[in-house]
Amino acid sequence: MKRSRLLNSELSYAISRIGHTASITLCDAGLPIPPGPQRIDLAIENGYPSFLRTLDALLSEMMVEEIVVATEIHEHNDSVFVQMMESFESHSMSPAVTKVSHEEFKQLTQSSEAIVRTGECTPYANVILKSGVVF
């Protein structure tokens, strides 16, 4: 049995396959998922698993050099943004932050290697994680 924190085999596999600058999108339960990227659906019920808890587990295995968020997160869900940045800090990461409109964000998800859907039901709890390198 795997010893590291992240137990979901599809998510572990997706992380292991991506290279530098490739991306994985982590999203709330409502973000439309386009055809193309691998869909990893973790949503079980409203709020479970949460966006932040899933992000924290994901960051235990993935180096992130840049994130993309919708500008609307600051108006509608700034506390999630603040907590998200604290999670990066706790994993000794300080990724560059790119902000785009929610409409542009949805378009950018099409180029993600995988889209991970959580049970989060708060607005704009979505992030595109661009892979960094560990050296």
- From the candidates 20, 74, 76, 91, give the one annotated as an active-site residue: 20
Amino acid identity for residue 100 in this structure: V
Collapsing DSSP to helix, strand or coil, 61 comes out as: coil
Report whether 48 belongs to an annotated binding site: no
Report whether 124 belongs to an annotated binding site: yes
Q: Which residues contact 115 (CB under 8 A, 6 or more apart)?
A: 24, 25, 27, 31, 33, 34, 37, 38, 39, 40, 109
- Provide the pairing of β-strand 64-70 with 127-131: antiparallel
State yes or no: is 20 an active-site residue.
Answer: yes
Report whether 8 belongs to an annotated binding site: no
Beta-strand (E) ranges in 28-113? 38-41, 64-70, 96-100
Q: What is the spatial distance between Cα 53 and Cα 84, in angstroms, rounded to a whole number?
A: 10
Q: What is the spatial distance between Cα 44 and Cα 24, in angstroms, rounded to a whole number?
A: 20
* Binding-site annotation, residues: 28, 102, 124-126
Binding residues for substrate: 28, 102, 124-126
Active-site residues, by number, are: 20
